[in-house]
Amino acid sequence: MLGRSILRASNRAVARQSLGKSTRASSTAAGAEAASSPFYLTLTAALATAAAAGSTAWYYHLYGQEAFAMTPAEEGLHATQYPWVHERFNKTFDHAALRRGFQVYREVCASCHSLSRVPWRSMVGTMHTVDEMKAFAEEHEYDTEPNNEGEIEKRPGKLSDYIPAPYPNEEAARAANGGALPPDLSLITKGRHGGCNYIFSLLTGYPDEPPAGAAVAEGMNFNPYFPGTGIAMARVLFDGVVEYEDGTPATTSQMAKDVVEFLNWSAEPEMDERKKMGVKAVALLTGLFAVSVWVKRYKWAPLKTRKIVYSPPIGPRR
């Protein structure tokens, strides 16, 4: 293309010099040479196109497949995409599900996993009443401030307290779990690739038997979704392991779904409020945007419709 336009331009210059008047003739001069052998030109073009397509395909065959630094087992299986209702732009959390999910956390997960960033008070009004939450808090004992003798005593929990961790420190947690540290769950759906889908897939993805050929280390369990496939946590959710107060059948997937939604709430408790504010913001801003477009149009209308006239200077004709 580059070469051709140079050629055409220089041809044109030559043509202009030789003919002196017509500059249009030059482009047909360049075309005439090519037109003398259209078959060979077509053949060359076809072969070049075939070679380009072929070499691209060959390159793709050799190198085009996406390479992975880690094996699929090390990477972990990609979590299935589930149609989480609460992830839609215009949906809130299902607060009945949050309530059930908290029950699953309290009765199943809480024996190993902390939820250290969630205070009891934050669940008041979102899934429980004040009295219910106070009762949950009072089940746990907390250290008091030092009294006048400097002794630290125990007191029942209050709404302002945070959910206590199952272990006093990391070492105790590791010792109780064969060296593995159960992660804090407060931010788990934000802190893992795949978010809700990953946690749900992990909880429900334990096969009855590890597949043939899979190496499972001592004290580990096989889960294809966990990076490396060897996970210290065993399957914990079995049908009927909790009894829901609202009568929902506690199947494995139902519990997993509820607890994932609860964990998503504990990672972003502001979500309902955020989306509601977002609708307000978009409504307000689209209004302002509309006004700004109208005003701009109004201000610019005289300019857009102006007529520019060239008045040639009056003088003697040549």
Partner 1 sequence: MRILKSHPLLRLVNSYLIDAPTPANISYLWNFGSLLAICLIIQIVTGVTLAMHYTPSVAEAFNSVEHIMRDVNNGWLIRYLHANTASAFFFLVYLHIGRGLYYGSYKSPRTLTWIIGTVILIIMMATAFLGYVLPYGQMSLWGATVITNLMSAIPWIGQDIVEFIWGGFSVNNATLNRFFALHFLLPFVLAALVLMHLIAYHDVVGSSNPLGISANYDRLPFAPYFLFKDLVTIFLFFIVLSIFVFFMPNALGDSENYVVANPMQTPPAIVPEWYLLPFYAILRSIPNKLLGVIAMFAAILALMAMPLTDLSKLRGVQFRPLSKIAFFIFVANFLVLMQIGAKHVETPFIEVGQISTVLYFAHFFIIVPVVSIIENSLVELATKK
Beta strand residue intervals within the chain, DSSP E: 141-143, 154-156, 221-222, 230-231
66-77 exposure pattern, b = at least 16 Cβ within 10 A, e = fewer: eeeeeeeeeebb
Q: How far apart are CA 260 and CA 241, in angstroms?
A: 16
Name residues whose C-beta falls within 8 Å of residue 192's C-beta, 6 or more positions apart in sequence: 198, 199
Name residues whose C-beta falls within 8 Å of residue 96's C-beta, 6 or more positions apart in sequence: 246
Instruction: Please indicate if the annotation marks 109 as binding a ligand.
Output: yes
Does 63 interact with partner 1 (rule: CB under 8 A)?
Answer: yes
- Indicate the residue among 3 and 316 with the shorter CB distance to partner 1: 3
Give least dist CB 65 to partner 1, A.
Answer: 9
Give least dist CB 136 to partner 1, A.
Answer: 19
Q: How far apart are CA 261 and CA 99, in angstroms?
A: 10
Stretch that binds partner 1, among 50-58, 103-111, 209-217, 289-297 (CB under 8 A): 289-297
Does 29 interact with partner 1 (rule: CB under 8 A)?
Answer: no
Give least dist CB 104 to partner 1, A.
Answer: 22
Does 227 interact with partner 1 (rule: CB under 8 A)?
Answer: yes
Q: Note every long-range contact of 230-235, with CB atoms under 8 Å and residues 24 or more positions apart, other chains counting.
A: 231/202, 232/177, 232/178, 232/179, 232/180, 233/112, 233/180, 233/182, 234/206, 235/206
Q: How far apart are CA 288 and CA 226, in angstroms?
A: 48
- Please select the residue that binds partner 1; options are 96, 159, 187, 236, rule is CB under 8 A: 187
Give least dist CB 296 to partner 1, A.
Answer: 5
Instruction: Please indicate if the annotation marks 196 as binding a ligand.
Output: no
Give least dist CB 85 to partner 1, A.
Answer: 15
Instruction: Please indicate if the annotation marks 78 as binding a ligand.
Output: no
Burial of 28 (0-12, 13-18, 19+ CB in 10 A): exposed
Does 55 interact with partner 1 (rule: CB under 8 A)?
Answer: no
**Nearest Cα to Cα of residue 97 among 240, 237, 241, 257:** 257
Does 277 interact with partner 1 (rule: CB under 8 A)?
Answer: yes
Stretch that binds partner 1, among 30-38, 172-180, 208-216, 275-283 (CB under 8 A): 275-283
> Which residues carry a binding-site annotation for heme c?
109, 112-113, 233
Residues found near partner 1 in the complex (CB under 8 A): 2, 5-6, 9-10, 12-13, 63-64, 67-70, 89, 117, 122, 186-187, 190-193, 195, 227, 267-270, 274-275, 277-279, 281-282, 285-286, 288-289, 292-293, 295-296, 299-300, 303
